[in-house]
Structure 1
């Protein structure tokens, strides 16, 4: 047994997760009734990630801002600009793909007990109210917009605090990051339970019936990470972007795919940025910020599912109106981070742009819940890996302007 445990621990996390995935699929297809107990592993894993992520974001951002030295320049403006452009262009990719390959949906019910926002004004209003939410309530409800705002305020207020106080905050940040690493270490068991529950409940046929939709969603996200993002990075650094892109996908995207939590993937991205030699004062703020507002994958999901509903209902939409959808998708995606259900609950808002009734739009949300097993994993992988990618791109662009040599292959090898 000890030898087996040593062999297990020596395997990479990705290999262990794949093994857990295969075991979950096998049990769901062969003995679903007898193996029902393993569902608890998935529930415990997701529960642990949801519990630790909000307080992790609070301490990471608060500690990073409080430690920032006056006069030390960071790249936050450029990084935020890259986040905004990436999310906007991703929504545009979803629009173009939906026009090139129009899909119709078999609408289903199944989005009960959720209340979507009624308009853009309500989304912006909720966003502003979330900024000033009670800090304890924000932590309890995982309102990351509110957590970020309070972390920034407290971080600035603690700039003149005693060194011992700042050290204590950093110690808490390090401890919470280590707890996340421990939780992610149990990902193979958690993934086994999650995939078992999904297949035992819906069956493989449920996913297969929405195969075309899944293929379009995943293809758009693959285009974003392998074509669009590299073009943006190349414009920044004027060198081959793919070594950096593949490093971010390998070190960040794969983990995020299986954990399905951008916030829980923050320590992974921080470690990646450190290994790339980036400025800690910059990435310690940009990575937690990106986990909340950098939502390229969500913009793709909103655009594709909304236009699928449009095509299903036979609504004629001109291209300029569809372009407005890409902007709306980007705004909605940034505001979706603190909402239960993420990007899916913003679909009715986007559908309202085309006059689609709310009851029909909620059926589209029901379709989204069915394909979420794959869609949400891919979406999180895109979102989280892009956080690290754009942070690195902005830093390398700064080095280029300063005349420093940028050897990406060496940095990311």
Structure 2
């Protein structure tokens, strides 16, 4: 048994996850009834990640700010700019593709009991209210905007605290990071449980009638991940971006694809940032912030499904309105995590640009839930992997500007 564990630990985590994925698919397809109990492993894995992530973010950010040395640059402005740029371009690409390959959908019922936000102002209001949320409530509800706000405030308040106090906070931060490492070691078994649950519960039959819509959604997200994002990275660092892009997709995107939760993937992204040698003071803030506002996948979902409704109802759309949709989709996407139901419930807001009634828009939301198995998985994978990609890009540019030699191929 010891030899077996030793050999298992010598295999890289990515290969372990791939092995768990393959075993999960085989078990789900060949003996679904026997494999059903293994589903609990997936629930335990996601539950553990979701449970530890809010506490991790609170202590990491608080510790980083409390011990931050005056005058040291954290490069957050560049990262936030990249987040917003990437989200807007994703929405714009989705609009262009939706016009190039228009798709109509069969409207469905099933979303009547859901409540959509009334407008952009309401989305922004929700975000602001989340900032001043009760800290205990924020941790319990995984409200990362609120957690970030309180962590920053506490960190600033502790800047002049005795070194012994800062050491205690740092020790807590290190201890929680260690727990995260233990949880991530169980990722292969968690992924195995998640893939078994996905195949045995949903299958692919219900997705076939929406094949063209899914193809556009997934195609746009892949184009953003493999073309748009690499162009942005190259514009910053002037090196081949693909080693870094593929590293982020492999080590962050794959896990996010199966957990379908940017919040649950925060510990995974923190670990990857550490592996890439990034500044802890920066990524301890940028990663949880990215899980809240860096939503390229959500911008794609909102744009594609809104224009699918527009094409279905034969509503004419001019170029200025299409560009406006890209902007609205980007703003809505940034507020997606602050609204119950995520990106899908922000579709009625975008539909209102074209005079589409809330009743019809909520039927489009119903379509979104039907294809949500794949749509949400790809969306989360794009969102989460891009958090690390843009954090690394901004830091590498800063280092290159300071005269340091960075070889992305070797770093990734």
Contact (CA 8 Å) 1:61, 1:151: kept in 2 or not? yes
In 2, the alpha carbon distance for the partners of 1:264 and 1:328 equals 27
Deviation at 1:249, TM superposition (A): 2.2
* Equivalent pairs, count: 412
Please, which moves more after superposition, 343-352 or 363-372? 363-372
Residue in 2 that maps onto 1:205 = 205
- Give 3-state SS (helix, strand or coil) of 1:346's partner: helix
Describe the shift of the 1:197–1:266 C-alpha distance in structure 2 as closer, same or farther (beyond 3 A): closer
Q: Give the corresponding residue for 1:56.
A: 56
Structure 1 ranges of 4+ moved more than 6 A: none
Structure 1 unaligned blocks of 5 or more: none
- Please give the alpha-carbon distance, in whole angstroms, between the structure 2 residues aligned to 1:280 and 1:61: 9
CA, structure 1 residues 225+274, in 2 after alignment: closer, same or farther (shift >3 Å)?
Answer: same
Once residues 250 and 24 of structure 1 are traced to their aligned partners in structure 2, the CA distance between those partners, rounded to angstroms, is 18
Q: CA separation of 1:45/1:86 partners in 2, compared to 1, >3 Å: closer, same or farther?
A: same
Counting only pairs closer than 5 Å after superposition, residues 116-195 of structure 1 correspond to structure 2 as 116-195=116-195
Asked if 1:383 is matched to 2:404, the reply is: no
Task: Give the secondary structure class of the aligned counterpart of 2:179.
Answer: helix
Return the alpha-carbon distance in structure 2 between the equivalents of residues 108 and 267 of structure 1: 37
State the alpha-carbon separation in 2 of the partners of residues 222 and 33 from structure 1. Answer: 34
Aligned partners of 1:190, 1:151: CA distance in 2, in Å?
Answer: 30
Corresponding position of 2:308: 308
Structure 2 equivalent of residue 335 of structure 1: 335
Classify 1:187/1:374 alpha carbon distance in 2 versus 1 (closer, same or farther; 3 Å).
farther
Distance 1:35 1:381, change over 3 A: closer
Which residue number corresponds to residue 286 of structure 1? 286
Give the TM-score, by structure 1 length: 0.91
- Alpha-carbon offset, residue 50 of structure 1: 2.2
- Paired position in structure 1 for 2:234: 234
Q: Which residue in the other structure is 2:257 paired with?
A: 257
Q: Which moved more, 1:97-106 or 1:368-377?
A: 368-377
Unaligned stretches of 5+ residues in structure 2? none
| Bigger mean CA deviation after superposition, 135-144 or 48-57 | 48-57
In 2, Cα distance between equivalents of 1:177 and 1:200: 34
What's the RMSD between the two structures over aligned residues?
A: 2.3
Between stretches 333-342 and 75-84, larger displacement belongs to 333-342
Matches within 5 A, 1:84-103: 84-103=84-103
Check the 8 A contact 1:14/1:255 in 2, yes or no. no
